[in-house]
Amino acid sequence: MYIYNGFVSSRKGNNARNHGFDVEDDVSGIHDVKLYTYRELKTATEDFSQHNKIGEGGFGSVHKGRLKDGKLAAIKVLSAESRQGVKEFLTEIEVISKIEHENLVKLYGCCVEGNHRILVYNYLENNSLAQTLLGGGHAYSSIQFSWQTRYKICVGVARGLAFLHEEVQPYIVHRDIKASNILLDRDLTPKISDFGLAKLIPSNMTHVSTRVAGTIGYLAPEYAIRGQLTRKADIYSFGVLLVEIVSGRCNTNTRLPAGEQYLLERTWHFYERKELIGLVDSSMNGDFDAEEACRFLKIGLLCTQDAPKLRPTMSTVVKMLTGEIEVYDSRITKPGLITDFMDLKVRGPQKTSKLHSSDSDNTTSSSYNLPSTSEKLDGSTMFSDSAAATMSTFTSPYDQSINLPKGIPVNGLVLISLRT
């Protein structure tokens, strides 16, 4: 059975009534997506058994299952209590059901039955980069991340993003490019996942103003400060990810000495000293193309430059990675850094109705990977929209997803600026 013409007949459950939204209205606009019954998915996962559970995120759990046609699937179950999660669920279907690319996860279908909101994806055997390469997972992974494998992953993610940014209309800004949202199939082909925070932007618009959502450490400073979203925000996030893949470490590690905690800052210092080779992951035991690895790190710096207009497009990034376009040192300027978040304060969602506009977004995102080694923020962070805000520091754990309401005064709790 398929959803056609944007409407699925579904009864409203108690939870839907309590939250004051109509399930039938919420699923309107969805079409050409295979619709599974809850019974089918319950059977596929052996009653959503614990031993089939392969991940858990901010909005529910993910189970491995075998569908009636024999295909293995990753079945992402949205928590019935989450209103924000329903919004993420619908956004994810709207975005990913319309597009297909080798480097994007494939949506098989969904379940919209009673209070059940479930996404069914192709199952990817090798989990996420956060689990296998970063965040402590590398030591326990059987995957050998050779330079050839890292090259393939970097180029694949870049091609997937270039497709979203330049080959579909309206173009798509993912907003949460990070290691835990890059999944790996059996052949270690990377797949960009979790489109719950994505924004579709018409080509005639230069940007959209929106509540800030994403993950600390990957957020482009100009987006974090002003809430103006462009493709350049994704490009910044990709630059951080690129440096992580080459170096084999996550972007923030507060257990390291003070001068080594923030990867992007450290990369700039190595670049200034012409010692980028010292940043390459030592686990490869020197078995890599030094010139290529340093070129990738320089591309990471180009992508994370302070001025968004200086960052290359993703199609240009692909050509730089593959050597079709030269990378010139003269074009590399200092990265935009938000490195200090002193006394980070977290609070629950605001009760003021003005804060929950139609443009509101989700606090965390959950692809079907195992949880990362970091914790998640489960509320909104106090934030200032002023570009004149002053500097503070990231003390938060790696891979914290956040959702920052627009226009809330700082009140001395979180102060942010660009370091130039």
**Residue 197 corresponds to which tokens in the numbers above?**
């925070």
Q: At what angle do helices 263-272 and 231-247 cross, to 10 degrees?
A: 70
**Residue 322 corresponds to which tokens in the numbers above?**
């593959």
**Residue 230 corresponds to which tokens in the numbers above?**
């462009």
**Residue 420 corresponds to which tokens in the numbers above?**
């130039």
18's CB contacts (< 8 A; 6+ apart) are none
The alpha helices in 34-171, defined as continuous H runs, are 38-44, 83-96, 129-132, 147-166
Long-range contacts of 328-335 (CB under 8 A, 24+ apart): 329/298, 331/302, 332/271, 332/298, 332/301, 332/302, 332/305, 333/305, 333/306, 333/307, 334/268, 334/305, 334/306, 334/419, 334/420, 335/239, 335/264, 335/265, 335/267, 335/268, 335/301, 335/304, 335/305, 335/306
Q: Is the dihedral of CA 373, 149, 195, 110 positive or negative?
A: negative
Task: Determine the Cα angle at 349 with ends 209 and 14, to 5°.
Answer: 110
> Is 76 known to sit in a ligand binding site?
yes
**Residue 170 corresponds to which tokens in the numbers above?**
């309206």
338's CB contacts (< 8 A; 6+ apart) are 219, 221, 224, 394, 416, 417, 418, 419
**Residue 33 corresponds to which tokens in the numbers above?**
């997506």
What SS3 class is residue 53? strand
Our answer to whether residue 385 is catalytic in this structure is no
Residue 140 CB-density burial (10 A; 0-12 exposed, 13-18 middle, 19+ buried):
exposed
Which residue in the list 32, 47, 69, 176 is annotated as catalytic?
176
Residues marked as binding?
Answer: 76
Which residues are designated catalytic?
A: 176
Binding residues for ATP: 76
